[in-house]
């Protein structure tokens, strides 16, 4: 399991997509949980702007969509927008664990 040891995290909150992009520009992050329905700039537009910046820099920040949207096609819409993962609210710790484990395996495959 991914959570087998206590982990320490630093968390930065942004109350809208524009502030999230600003925080990403100014800081160093391992992972972003991006709410799809944020004011000012929603999560889909924020990740599109992030991915456009990354196309120039060659960087890639893992972004997981967090949303109450759980209808057919919502997951695909988030992934097509540039999200690396998708979680629905309310968050389920098992789904979060599975998603993070999958992302870790993709980032560091065993050879």
For the chain, domain boundaries: 17-107
Which of the 8 DSSP states describes residue 35? E
Q: Which two tokens stand for residue 33?
A: 């949980």
Q: What is the pTM of this model?
A: 0.84
The CATH superfamily holding the domain 17-107 is Response regulator (3.40.50.2300)
pLDDT, position 39: 93
Distance CA 14, CA 34 (A): 9
Distance CA 68, CA 93 (A): 16
Query: pLDDT 10s per residue in the chain (111 long)?
Result: 444 455 677 889 999 999 999 999 999 999 999 999 999 999 999 999 999 999 999 999 999 999 987 888 899 999 999 999 999 999 888 898 899 888 877 765 554
pLDDT, position 107: 62
Closest to 13 (Cα-Cα) out of 27, 78, 83: 27
Using alpha carbons, list the distances in angstroms from residue 6 to 2, 24, 29, 53, 91: 10, 25, 19, 34, 19
pLDDT, position 111: 47
């Amino acid at each position: 399991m991914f959570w087998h040891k206590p982990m320490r995290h630093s968390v930065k909150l942004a109350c809208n997509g524009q502030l999230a992009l600003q925080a990403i520009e100014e800081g160093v992050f391992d992972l972003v949980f991006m709410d799809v329905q944020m004011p000012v700039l929603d999560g889909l537009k924020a990740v599109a702007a992030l991915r456009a910046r990354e196309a120039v820099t060659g960087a890639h920040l893992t972004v997981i969509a967090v949303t109450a949207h759980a209808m057919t096609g919502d997951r695909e819409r988030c992934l097509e927008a540039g999200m690396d993962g998708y979680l629905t609210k309310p968050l389920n710790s098992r789904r979060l664990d599975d998603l993070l484990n999958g992302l870790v395996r993709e980032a560091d495959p065993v050879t």
